[in-house]
Structure 1
Amino acid sequence: MSISRRRALTLASLFVASPLLGTEGRAEPVSVPGAASFDMTTFSATSGGDADAAFAKALAAVAKAAADASKAGPIHIVLNLEKNASYRIKRPLAFPQLHGFELNGNGAQLINTTRSGTLTISGCNRLTVRDLTIDYDPLPFTQGTITAFDKQAVEITVKIDPGYPDDAALLATLTDGFFKVMDRHNKALKTGARDFLSPAHATRASDGLIKVHLRWSANDCFPSQLPIAVGDVVTIANSGAHAIAVDSSVATSLIDLKLLASPGMGIIENGGEGSMMLQKVSVVPGPRPKGATADRLISTNSDGSHFTAVAHGPTMEDCSFANTSDDAINVHGFYYYVVAKSAPRRFLLSPKWDIGLVAGDDIESCDHATFRSLGRGKVAQLTKRHAPELKAKIAQLWKNRSPTTQPDLIYDVVLQQDLPLKVGDAVTSLTHIGSGATVLRCNFHACGRVLMKAPNAIVENCQFTFATGVALQAGSDIGFWSESGFADNLVFRNNRFSHCVNGANELTAGSDTLGTIYVGMVAPQGAKGFQDNFQNRRVIIEGNYIDDSYIYAIFVSNADGAKIAGNVIGQTFLRGNTFGAGEFFHIKPDSAIFVGRARNVEISNNVAARGRIATNAVAIDPSCDKRTVHLAGNRLA
């Protein structure tokens, strides 16, 4: 496969920072001209067995070396941990404003004992972490078996698996998050279980026995959901601190890193140039804790990895994700909603977070009713101010959405050229949206979605098994999460899928995400049917193998320019019922592939198995421009 210019430059910069990036196995430190090397044994020997004190001394030495060298320019600094050592830490390791720094784990393990963050990387350039394992003790989640529940199935009694925590500190955190019914054999969500229930609080009834009060009934069932039962295995977790947090950095590399638990997201990168490299990174459940008789069923309490408002998306190669409580990967920008137009070219915008839009950014607009683009432009000026007098108007814009974290913050923006934006319309940065995200040869088991809301994205030669919901998704979420943007120059190629979308939520009348592979959009609450736009552009879905899907194999909508070719599809709608799926779009499923509200589409040489639901290989919705939809060589087998 040819390598893009951006990709080549990224690789080149990483090789400069870490000469052993391409070597196999665990990296050994090498002599680099102008380098400074520190060994953790030096600091451990004078710290009386206190790992936090040893790391404090080590990081102080690293910071001093970096400061001493700053007048002459950045140098390569390496901190070598003791080979195969285990460090029990109470405080995160912080790496601020380092250039060319490398943490060489040498097979060591960091055991976080406080359910806090473990690595924080901020303002760094070409920082590398390699050959390191991160775990938590006590674990930041628990699991067990349902022994009883009340008539409303709101108060659930759970016998905790031996070796798993039920301490007061953990139970106090269980005020939201995930209560999931699991299948121990598949180490995945139980087929037909609700994708998630959410605890309101939890209390300890006796040793190893807790009562969990849910926010809504576990047996308030919709047609596709199986009721809970005594004997069901459950996991209980709430999102907290993220294990690895990267902010405002460029070309961070994580190599041969194993992350075995996280109180929140596993890896999060916020803002900055991005271009993170993940090679042979594993975000998977760790070993059984001491005294346990059952395997762990969670790796992270929230997303496995998350990339927000970075200029360049991550490159992931040969990575593994399993049992992330939410999405495995999410790459996106944000929408900023128009509060007012104060002058020609000048708009007051409300951000969700104070991140992701700066002067000089290229932007695209989005109409609040059709979600079509109202044009592209560039931010000439941007200033920020608090406007308490506008709080009511701002709150109205975020109604029925995940609320803004900045209830009175205004971005006062001047564009180079005017756009016909009205109150409620949105803009997103095209500069800070994770462009070029690439996922190659990775494995995903029992995770949430791999979400690519970034342009120029590639997911190729990956394997997905027992995905809770949609396995691989692209397109805007201008609905609840206000995450941008639409697909643009997207490739999903040569991936394999098995037993995906086994949760209950996608198979509901209200679901608008209906495929193992889904390219479309998530509209705001109250919207119905295919929205009047063709904003997903230049989409290629080819050479994928999709078997035993619980829903459509491929579902594409709101697209202008799509190629769906050479995909091999086994059984779809595996439960033999659609349970109301499709009603959102006023369709009754009868095919393996569905295309709605699209134009300039080629669908060719796809083979699909005949099933109880799939009596056609391909279905085209009347909302499509059928004059520009071309079908050839598609067949049922």
Structure 2
Amino acid sequence: MSANYINESPLTKTVNHHDSTHLSGRHFLCVAIALALSTIATVSAAETPVELKPINVKDFGAKGDGVTDDTVAINAAIVEAQKQGAGAVVWLPSGRYKTATRAEKSIRITGANGLTFQGEGDATIVSGDLDEPVFRLDDSKSVTVRKISIDHDPLGYTQGMITAVDIPNMTCEVSMDPGYPAPNDPSFKGSQVHPFVFPDKNYYQLDRHWPNPIEMVKTGERTWKWKLQGPPHIENWAGKKFFIYTESRSHAFVLSNLRDTTLEDINYWGGGANAGFYIRGLEGTTTFRRFVIGVPAGSNRLYSCAGGGQVSGLRGKLLLDHCDFSKIDDDGIDILSNYTRIIEQKDNRTLLVQAKNSDYRAGDRVELWDWQHKKIRTNAVITTATPNPDGTFVIALDRDVVTERVGVGVGMNFSRESMIDGIDRLVNVATVGQETIIRDSKFQVFRAKCLNLKAANCTIERCTFRNSFQPAISAAPEWYFEEGSSIRNFTVRGCTFTDNNHPNIVIGASPITGVPGDKPKVSEAQENISHDSTKILIEGNSFSGFGTTPSVFDWSWPVGPAITITCAADVMIRGNTFGPLAERAPEGTLKVLVEKCKDVKIIDNKGISAEETTVHENDVGSKK
């Protein structure tokens, strides 16, 4: 070998540059190729990420035996995994992992980046606390939780069958199902009894007013006689199943301040808890894929949990894909708007508002609402939003606005004071980047709405809604929530609606009039009508079994129509199929009712006649 080579290895030889001119072209090419290959190999080795070994929770003391509290061990595994950085995996082998029976209540993922929490086989987390969330995910990005089931033990409810009713003496006899708590458990004190009035449709009550027991006497191993606070409304309660649930605050997941989060292949069996998830402050894309809320297969459980999920502060894309929500008491999904009282108008374009945990940012589109008449006054875009230490915000807008009634006000959610105080509201109806897609999913709710949506840019497609007591889809303000959001860019496409009560789809709300201190009333006055919701598309859906309202309540929705839209503009109802109405539907029941709207098109629908369609555009009656 020539002395010009320092290293004898043919693939790692280094050329003496002073003598390189003496190499032949062929030899120089070979050396160059060898050097290139060596460099590529070195760089590739440096850039290839180290394969991270999954962190097994059992290595940190978790037992998965259904008895030992594994909360501390699971959290220790999460902390260790986070030290690995992005790509770390926490592994939960098959087993039943008891949590929340000691001081540490929740499984916590905080400040993570690129972490995956993944179960194996039948891995199930069983929480022993109905007042704390099973999982808390905070201040993290690119977190995935997958392939686990979640349950509660003890359950937050009990169930059984009504065997006899004595109306004159206001008593009933019940038999409790084996394996469920006794009805006189202190946690059920004051709780309401929910009988399944229509067991074939899975509605659990006629009107929410089954009289509660005021005295319970045990008459056998699982039998009881109850003294009721009032007479039952009808006699044929014998043979009906019922359940009683306690007021709990637990969720499967509480998510806050997250970016790009995925929850997939998760079963939440509820166990009488509050809801599947509560979300506040999401950016990027949040995905629920094959997320199930219901009861275990083969179980005789009548009930899952009080609600499905609630979303607030959505600033990105929310995707629900192939999910299944059933046996839920209240709304399946609530997407809420930010709303707040206007305390003071500082100048033509600057407002001082109550923060109320709201998240206002530059670029958000907001609406200023006349809260006395529940009517939009104007809309604007935020140019700056400055939080104050006292919890208020100074909001600067891109245009002049006019307020009429401002102040601090009193009362919180669900309060009469909040509904009737008349103070102007600022409603954040389109946060930057907000979008919701719900597709290929199933919903069944006992007494409330499957989807209760108050957000911009919503698409619901290829979903199934069945056997629900209130509207399957509601996109309208709820004044008792202090919410007055309007709906923009709302699409319902290719969905199937079967045996749902009330209108299957409700969009918009009737105009309201009133003065502070009086309960608002529906107004027919032209000056109180505003077309708040716009760009509504209802296309290619099928409806059957609608047209009845088995309730003694004076609901705000009309009895009958599959679709009801009020105070909207740019509405298209196209290519839908209307099947047979419910057996008890009154003769002449409408199938579509559109009131106080403009720019309405109803075309190419099947199974519907002109007599079954009523459209009032700009409060002038017409049929199409």
TM-score (norm: length of structure 1): 0.74
CA distance in 2, matches of 1:360, 1:468: 38
Bigger Rg, structure 1 or 2: 2
Partner of residue 276, structure 2: 266
Counterpart AA for 2:140: C
Deviations 1:504-537 (A, max 9, x none): xxxxxxxxxx511111227774321566111110
Deviation at 1:278, TM superposition (A): 0.8
Partner of residue 172, structure 1: 187
- Is 2:423 the counterpart of 1:420? no
Counterpart AA for 2:254: A
- Is 2:264 the counterpart of 1:255? yes
CA distance in 1, matches of 2:351, 2:214: 46
Counterpart AA for 1:298: Y
Partner SS for 1:271:
strand
CA distance in 2, matches of 1:43, 1:261: 28
Point out the more displaced range, 252-261 or 146-155: 146-155
CA contact (8 A) 1:476 1:485 kept: yes
Partner SS for 2:60:
helix
CA distance in 2, matches of 1:140, 1:32: 46
User: For 1:272-351, what aligned pairs fall within 5 Å after superposition?
Assistant: 272-273=282-283, 275-287=285-297, 295-300=300-305, 302-350=306-354
Cα gap change, 1:622/1:319 in structure 2, threshold over 3 Å: closer, same or farther? closer
Counterpart AA for 1:271: G
Partner of residue 121, structure 1: 137
CA contact (8 A) 1:88 1:111 kept: yes
Return the match for 1:618 from 608, 613, 622.
613
Cα gap change, 1:180/1:316 in structure 2, threshold over 3 Å: closer, same or farther? same
Deviation at 1:261, TM superposition (A): 1.1
CA distance in 2, matches of 1:496, 1:196: 27
Return the match for 2:202 from 188, 191, 195.
188
Deviation at 1:40, TM superposition (A): 2.2
Return the match for 1:536 from 530, 533, 538.
533
CA distance in 1, matches of 2:183, 2:237: 25
CA distance in 2, matches of 1:167, 1:200: 12
- Is 2:565 the counterpart of 1:565? no
CA distance in 2, matches of 1:335, 1:50: 44
Counterpart AA for 2:505: I
User: For 1:84-483, what aligned pairs fall within 5 Å after superposition?
Assistant: 84-90=94-100, 91-107=105-121, 108-115=123-130, 116-147=132-163, 158-166=174-182, 171-175=186-190, 179-182=193-196, 186=200, 188-190=202-204, 193-197=205-209, 205-206=217-218, 208=222, 219=232, 229-237=237-245, 238-262=247-271, 263-273=273-283, 275-287=285-297, 295-300=300-305, 302-350=306-354, 353-358=356-361, 361-368=364-371, 369-378=373-382, 380-384=384-388, 386=390, 410-423=392-405, 424-432=423-431, 435-447=434-446, 448-449=448-449, 450-477=451-478, 479-483=479-483
Partner of residue 526, structure 1: 520
Cα gap change, 1:574/1:488 in structure 2, threshold over 3 Å: closer, same or farther? farther
Partner SS for 1:480:
helix
Deviation at 1:48, TM superposition (A): 10
Deviations 1:215-262 (A, max 9, x none): x8574x6xxxx6773433222223422221111212221111111115
CA contact (8 A) 1:309 1:434 kept: no
Counterpart AA for 1:81: L
CA distance in 2, matches of 1:539, 1:591: 20
CA contact (8 A) 1:363 1:379 kept: no
Partner of residue 88, structure 2: 77
CA distance in 1, matches of 2:543, 2:196: 23
CA distance in 1, matches of 2:316, 2:141: 14
Partner SS for 1:340:
strand
Gaps of 5+ in 2: 1-47, 406-422, 513-518, 549-559
Deviations 1:275-317 (A, max 9, x none): 320111111122567xxxxx111111x2112111221252011
TM-score (norm: length of structure 2): 0.75
CA contact (8 A) 1:260 1:286 kept: yes
CA distance in 2, matches of 1:50, 1:233: 30
Deviation at 1:565, TM superposition (A): 0.9
Deviations 1:354-373 (A, max 9, x none): 23335664422222225124
Partner SS for 1:42:
helix
Partner SS for 2:72:
helix
Point out the more displaced range, 557-566 or 244-253: 244-253
Partner of residue 41, structure 1: 58
Partner of residue 415, structure 2: none
Cα gap change, 1:49/1:144 in structure 2, threshold over 3 Å: closer, same or farther? closer
Deviation at 1:599, TM superposition (A): 0.4
CA distance in 1, matches of 2:510, 2:193: 24
CA distance in 2, matches of 1:522, 1:235: 35
Deviations 1:418-445 (A, max 9, x none): 3112321211224549931111110112
CA RMSD of aligned residues (A): 3.4
Partner SS for 1:63:
helix
CA distance in 1, matches of 2:226, 2:250: 22
Deviations 1:7-37 (A, max 9, x none): xxxxxxxxxxxxxxxxxxxxxxxx9757452
Percentage of matched positions with identical amino acids:
20
* Relative contact order, higher structure (CA 8 A, sep 6+): 1
Partner of residue 517, structure 1: 505
Deviations 1:379-411 (A, max 9, x none): 52333455xxxxxxxxxxxxxxxxxxxxxx644
CA distance in 2, matches of 1:50, 1:247: 29
Deviation at 1:563, TM superposition (A): 0.3
CA contact (8 A) 1:592 1:608 kept: no
CA distance in 2, matches of 1:372, 1:227: 47
Partner SS for 1:133:
strand
Deviation at 1:140, TM superposition (A): 1.3
Cα gap change, 1:50/1:233 in structure 2, threshold over 3 Å: closer, same or farther? closer
CA distance in 1, matches of 2:583, 2:124: 42
